[in-house]
Amino acid sequence: MDTGRRPLWQEEPAVRPRMADPVRTAAVRAVIIVAITLIQAMVAFLSTLAGSWLAFPAVLSTVASTVVATWAVLDVWVTRQVWVQRNGVQSQPSSTARELRRERRRARRQGRRESRDGRSRVDRAAA
């Protein structure tokens, strides 16, 4: 029974394949750490403007968080590189490349057969 309404959403194939689980975990961790660092930086800046006692500890913790955030972003990059090295990139050749290889293989086999048949005929004729 068709009501004439459009569906709320339509499934579309992903343009890029999904990230590997370890890489996605590292990326989520990095985003959370960077967000917290930015919040700390804003608190440090505003408390410095207000002349609050919280300014100095906030600046110190922001500097430490910046180091940790840099480490987290580098961890995403390293995790991705390690994952690709261990598991490799799963690529499939395009159908045109596959077809060209098949044609070359056929031609090679045909050439071998012809050279083998040609020699054997000559050898038989000489004998």
Residue with more model confidence, 109 or 95? 109
Q: How much of the chain exceeds pLDDT 70, in percent?
A: 83
- Calpha distance 59→66 (Å, rounded): 10
The tokens describing 115, both together, are 């050279």
Side-chain half-sphere CA neighbours of 85 within 13 A:
6
CA triple 50-54-56, angle to 5 deg: 100
Residue 88 has pLDDT above 80, yes or no: no
Average pLDDT, the chain: 86
DSSP symbol at 51:
T
Number of CB atoms found within 10 A of residue 15's CB: 5
Give the predicted TM-score (pTM) of the model: 0.59
Q: Rounded to an integer, what distance in angstroms lies between the CA atom of residue 39 and that of residue 34?
A: 9
